[in-house]
Amino acid sequence: MSVTTKKAGLSRRSVLKGAAATATAVGASTLGAPMIWAQNIKDITLRQSGTGVSAFNEIAQKVKEDLGFSLEMTALDSDAVAQRVATQPGSFDIADIEYWMCKKVWPVGNLQAMDVSKIANYDKIVGIFKDGKLTPESTIAQGTAPHTVGFVEAVDGKEFASEQTGFMTLIPTIYNADTLGIRPDLIGRPISNWSELLNPEFAGKASILDISSIGIMDMAMVCESMGEISYGDKGNMTRDEIDQTIAIFTEAKKNGQFRAFWKTFDESVNLMASGEVVIQSMWSPAITAV
């Protein structure tokens, strides 16, 4: 819905110069912002749709203090964010998406790339997001390496470029990581391997992420840690690797290993805080929250 500013004939949407993108990778979140006219800035509210990982009231408060406009945040689960970006472009101005979502949503054409010449600290963005390597000796990560979806050839480009260009899809601002979260007060011993998620000791008290594109990676970490499967590339599994992984977790589910499955930041926190779950795959900010 359009919100009219104080200047007659000037709608909210008319002062927004397209919608830029925000994203979260395995370990990173990105933020971009639409262009707005300075003289109308106090009348503008930009709407951000994203996950609970980055929907902090403190960020909105700082935006108001430093930049003058208002930031309205909506926290959704990852799949809902991807669906909104692809099908409801009029419902947001900033999309806080994750890097793995890019191949799903960017080709739709609802997002606009950012001119790197206008990114003041572009030279300070680490190599992981530019060429895939933190250092020249680094090995490029498995999964959706950020640099593979980080650039397009033009501001309205829909196909990803194979190297850095003048147009960046996403800017990293928040680093996040998937790991095992535990209740040490209830477990009473150290946990150091992903294989512990399927340890019968925790039957009925374990949980795992119910977002397929991320959850399958966590499942692979468990299977690899158990010594059951050796993956060529966990981010691009073969059909046989997928079948083996799903079979192991299907059997665990039938045996009552899992108390529940979670899709949102808040769900993961509540399961652990209540004591219903003592071990689960989690996002690092959620572990801090518990």
Region of 68 (left: φ > 0; alpha: ψ -120 to 50; beta: rest) is left
Supply the pLDDT for residue 27.
36
178-289 folds as: D-Maltodextrin-Binding Protein; domain 2 (3.40.190)
Q: Read off the amino acid at residue 66.
A: D
Supply the pLDDT for residue 248.
98
Supply the pLDDT for residue 23.
37
Tokens 């040490």 locate to: 184
Tens-digit pLDDT profile for residues 115-143: 999 999 999 999 999 999 999 999 888 88
Torsions phi, psi for 151 (to 5 deg) = -140, 150
Dihedral sign, CA of 101, 107, 109, 113?
Answer: positive
Supply the pLDDT for residue 184.
93
Supply the pLDDT for residue 6.
34
Partners of 228 in the β-ladder? none
Tens-digit pLDDT profile for residues 183-194: 999 999 999 999
Closest Cα partner for 264 from 95, 27, 51? Answer: 51
What are the structural domain ranges in the chain?
13-174, 178-289
Domain 13-174 and domain 178-289 have a common topology: yes
Which DSSP category does 234 fall into? Answer: T
Supply the pLDDT for residue 118.
94
Which DSSP category does 113 fall into? Answer: -
Closest Cα partner for 253 from 204, 290, 211? Answer: 204
Residues of the chain with pLDDT under 50: 1-33
Supply the pLDDT for residue 26.
40
Distance (Å, rounded) from C-alpha 213 to C-alpha 195? 20
Supply the pLDDT for residue 182.
93
**CATH class of the 13-174 domain in this structure:** alpha beta
